Amino acid sequence: MLSRLLPPGAGFRLAMGTLAVLAFLLLAGPLATVVWVSFFQGKIIAFPPEGYTLSWYAAAWEMPRFRGGLATSLWVALAATAASLAAGVPAALYLARTEFRGREAIQSVLLGPLIVPGIVAGLALYMFLIEAEILTGVQFAQTMGGLVLGHSLIALPWTVRLVTAALVGMDRQAEEAAAVMGARPLAVFFLVTLPAIRSGLVAGGLFSFVISFVDLEKSLFLVGPGTTTLPIAIINYLEWSVDPTIAAVATAQIAAISAVMIATDRVFKLTRAF
């Protein structure tokens, strides 16, 4: 009966629409909840809230583990971004400009860190660093160096992918013109190629930064006393308690990453990275 009254296909559109709305609610709901709860007045989270306050942000800022975690995460992400650009840009240049047959093999190796699960790669690197420590007597595991090594690896495929795509997409004639006019290869690279792939570089760098900053699985094995990253500090706290303080910390992270992404979006449309 009902189907006669509705236009043809209304049931299909309603079903698809409902599921799509549900999907977007599932994506946005948890983040919106975290932000909302961080302003709740009561220490024990209950709905509806008794009132609202900003005091949990101050409380979170007073906790050394979160301040330390933030500092560690920022330094590690900056160092990993620098390392992934330093190694990734020359590799991308090679991949985009070579006709060597082994190119695809090299490319698969460089994208490898994306394929190996974080927990497996983290375990492997952790055991490797401890073995190296036993051999040399120098501490590697649970140091900033070890963390940066692990994080540069997860950032590297992003840099290689985004910068290679930019190099392939750029107009090669400018490079050739510069070379014909007598510019040396290095001059061509720094004066013509790099400016032309600016947006790819920015995107590669910012993605590296974000991927490193929020990483959890790989860092689990690599952190130690004094070198705990912010996501690890959050998850350690969550195993014992859930309160507005941790929601404030999480909201701060959400705000920071949103800022980075808005900045990225101005030079490089985020939607193109996927």
Partner 1 sequence: MVEPGVQGVSDLAATLPPGPARVRRSVPGFALLPVPALVLVGIGLILPLGLIARYSLAEFDPADIALQGLTAGNYLKFFGDPFYREVLGRTLAVAAGSTAACLLLGVPAAYAISRARSARLRSALLLLAIVPLLMGNAVRALGWMVLLSERGIVNQALTGLGLADAPVRLMYTPLAVTLSLVAVLLPFMVLTLQSVFDSISPVYEDAAATMGAPPWAAFRHVFLPLAMPGLFSGSLLVFILGMNAYASPVLLGGPAFHMMAPMVYEQAVEAFNWPFASALAFVLMAATLVLTVLSSRVLQKRYGRL
Within positions 30 to 89, which residues make up the interface with partner 1, using CB under 8 A? 30-34, 37, 44-48, 83, 86-88
Rounded (5°) CA angle 157-158-162:
120
Cα–Cα–Cα angle for 7, 10, 12, nearest 5°? 145
Decide if residue 235 touches partner 1 (CB under 8 A): yes
Query: Between the CA of residue 209 and those of 167, 180, 232, 234, what are the distances in Å?
Result: 21, 38, 17, 19
Binders in 249-268 for partner 1, by CB under 8 A: 250, 253-254, 257-258, 261
The alpha carbon dihedral of 99, 102, 104, 108 has a sign of: negative
Phi, psi of 224 (to 5 degrees): -155, -175
Other CB atoms closer than 10 Å to residue 115's CB: what's the count?
9
By CB under 8 A, how many residues form the interface with partner 1?
A: 112
Assess 228 for contact with partner 1 (CB under 8 A). no
| Least Å from the CB of residue 234 to partner 1 | 4
Which value, to the nearest 10 degrees, does the dihedral of the CA atoms of residues 224, 215, 206, 250 take? -90
Stretch that binds partner 1, among 49-57, 59-67, 103-111, 194-202 (CB under 8 A): 103-111
Residue 126 in the binding site for partner 1 (CB under 8 A): yes
- Is residue 113 a contact point for partner 1 (CB under 8 A)? yes
Q: How far is the CB of 71 from partner 1 (least distance, A)?
A: 17
Asked whether position 194 contacts partner 1 by CB under 8 A, the answer is: no
Nearer to partner 1, 71 or 119 (CB): 119
Least separation in angstroms between residue 204's CB and partner 1 is 12
Residue 166 is classified by DSSP as H
Cα separation, 219 vs 100, in Å, equals: 36
Within a 10 A sphere around the Cβ of 261, how many other Cβ atoms? 13
By CB under 8 A, tell whether 8 contacts partner 1: yes
Give residue for tokens 């599932």.
26
Q: Which DSSP symbol is given to 270?
A: G
- Compare residues 5 and 46 and give the one whose CB is closer to partner 1: 46
Shorter beta-carbon distance to partner 1: residue 67 or 103: 103
Which residues between 208 and 227 bind partner 1 (CB under 8 A)? 210, 213-217, 220-221
Q: Which is closer to partner 1, CB of 15 or CB of 58?
A: 15
